[in-house]
Amino acid sequence: VSTATPAFLLFAVAGALAYPLNRSIAWRQLVLLAMNLYFLSTFSRDPVGFIPLAAFLAVGFVGVWLMQRGRRGWFVPVLVLEIALLVWLKKYSFIPHFGLLHFSYVTLGMSYICFRMLHMLIDAKEGSLTGVTLIGYLNYTLNFLTLVSGPIQRYEDFASTQLQATRPRLELADVGRALERIALGVFKVSLLSLLLQTWHDAAIARLGVAESIPDRVAAGIGVAAAYPLFLYANFSGYMDIVIGIGHFFRFTLPENFARPFAAPNFMTFWNRWHMTLSDFFKTYVFNPLVLALMQRFEKPSLEPWIAVCAFFITFFLLGVWHGQTSVFVVYGLILGLGVSVNKLYQVLMARRMGAKRYKALARSGLYTALCRGLTFTYFTFSLFFFWSSWRQMGELLSRVDTVSLVLTWTGLLLFATLALALVESVSRWISSWTLVGHPVFASRYVRTALTTAVILVTVTATVLMNAPAPDNVYKAF
């Protein structure tokens, strides 16, 4: 069952109706468990296909159980075993073929389960996580809303809404907010991402037949620019749907996107894009790494350089996580390089200009617009290693000459700078509209009208286009 389908929405509605029938925690836990297991059961018809996942979950639970009982000596073995199991079951390309399981089994959502398990394991070891039961563990790790592609919720946030005897009532306004969010998500997934995917495919096809340099440059800009926009519409749309549905269960799922293309630099971009993943890496990789390095190298003057190194390692790992092949190692290197060079630039500029003058420069409109365009262009470049294989990349490069390539990236930088500056200006202008002293778009009347229009346009366009919504891209990870 895919998240953006009527079947999934009906399934969620059925669950949301059953969920509040009894106020006891046990009832809610049982309903949620039934929903999670049913959703999971749609991934495979063969029960044998669930055995590896069950083993993976069992190891995680045993680890958390041991940590809760103070058996900290088991921490490293369980951690290593958990990561090794993920790498093995996800069939990373460096593992010899004979060492893999040779039957079809479920790996969907395994990466996100792993993130949740590692978080529980580490926090339980440090004593900040207690009272995890088997049913709570299963409901948290297998939550049907977040199983496939997040967002990565912290266990304490999950427990604070699901394992409390008294919960806030579901008011009509909450229902409105939830429906608004779901409608926006379906619009993004079913319509916007479909159109952007079509644009991307058409641009690739056009690049193959483009004969003149202007044609190649235009097609190249299309190939490059369409994908990040598609990925944003696709991933953030799915997030909107699950966060919206979550309101009906009184889940407060964390946000995963915050206008990422408005970010003025690559570091800030990752605070706005796939935020829960960035937070996970910040909490469990970056912070401990910086701490460890600062304890090892105690000179304060080294602190900025330590941060640069830690950023590189963190984002390298974040990039590598995305896939099982060597191309994702390069993706990790590009992300690591992007963030660490960004940090290095900030350090050097602050030293050369002085912190005050550098801050003033960073606030100037033209500089910010250019940085925003550069951030988008660099992210776009990094995504080539995300959506294409080595063979596809070779084919694309064989279609363009050096001049076209240079002009494509220069053109994209210029286009992104101007387009994003325009979007920001329009966005600011629209935000300034007020009605009786309040922002227009905060009014529920305006929002009701907009949501109705969005639903109408989505339904009509979806029926007319008669094409399935693009699948959740992050499902593959």
Q: Extract the tokens encoding 261.
A: 């293309």
b/e code 161-179 from CB counts within 10 Å (16+ = b):
bbbeeeeeebeeeeeebbb
Which H, E and C letters describe 387-430, residue by residue? HCCHHHHHHHHHCCCHHHHHHHHHHHHHHHHHHHHHHHHHHHHH
Q: Cβ of 47: how many Cβ atoms within 10 Å?
A: 9
Min separation Cβ 462 and other proteins, Å: 12
- Tell me which residues touch other proteins (CB under 8 A): 168, 171-174, 176-177, 435-436, 438, 440, 442-445, 447-449, 452-453, 456-457, 460, 463-466
Residue 174 Cβ vs other proteins, minimum distance, rounded to whole Å = 6
Comparison of 171 and 298: residue with beta carbon closer to other proteins: 171
Question: CA–CA separation, 201 vs 190, rounded Å?
Answer: 16
Q: What is the nearest approach in angstroms of other proteins to the Cβ of residue 248?
A: 14
Q: How far is the CB of 466 from other proteins (least distance, A)?
A: 5
Nearer to other proteins, 357 or 444 (CB): 444
- Give the three-class secondary structure for 106: coil
Which residues, including other chains, have CB under 8 Å from residue 205's CB and lie 6 or more apart?
none
CB of 195 to other proteins, least distance (A): 15
Q: Which is nearer to other proteins, 164 or 392 (CB)?
A: 164
Using the minimum distance from each CB to other proteins, give the nearer residue, 194 or 407.
194
Report how far residue 458's alpha carbon sits from residue 186's, in angstroms, rounded to the nearest whole number.
8
CB-side neighbour CA atoms (13 Å) of 109 = 29
CB closer to other proteins out of 429 and 445: 445
Q: Is the dihedral of CA 115, 121, 124, 129 positive or negative?
A: positive
Q: Which is nearer to other proteins, 329 or 459 (CB)?
A: 459
User: Minimum Å distance from CB 449 to other proteins?
Assistant: 4
CB of 26 or CB of 172, closer to other proteins: 172
Nearer to other proteins, 165 or 173 (CB): 173
Is residue 434 within a helix (H) or strand (E), and if so which, with residue range?
strand 434-435
> Which tokens sit at 91?
């069939």
218 vs 253, which CB is nearer to other proteins?
Answer: 253
Task: Tell me the closest approach of the beta carbon of residue 435 to other proteins, in angstroms.
Answer: 4
Q: Of the two residues 292 and 453, which places its CB atom closer to other proteins in the complex? A: 453
Please report how close the Cβ of residue 440 comes to other proteins at its closest, in angstroms.
8
The minimum distance between CB 238 and other proteins, in angstroms, equals: 23
Measured in residues, the chain has a length of: 477
Closest approach, Cβ 433 to other proteins, in A, equals 11
CA-based nearest residue to 314, from 344, 289, 345, 347: 289
Which two structure tokens, joined as six digits, stand for 440? 């227009």
> E strands, 197-305, where?
none
Helical ranges in 42-141 per DSSP H = 51-68, 75-89, 110-125, 134-141
Distance from chain centroid for Cα 320: 14
Q: What is the rounded CA–CA span in Å between residue 318 and residue 285? A: 10
State the nearest-atom distance from the C-beta of 247 to other proteins, in Å: 11
CA–CA separation, 375 vs 113, rounded Å?
A: 30
Q: Pick between residue 21 and residue 172 the one whose CB is nearest to other proteins.
A: 172
Buried b (16+ CB within 10 A) or exposed e, 297-330: eeeeeeebebbbbbbbbbbbbbbbbbbbeebbbb
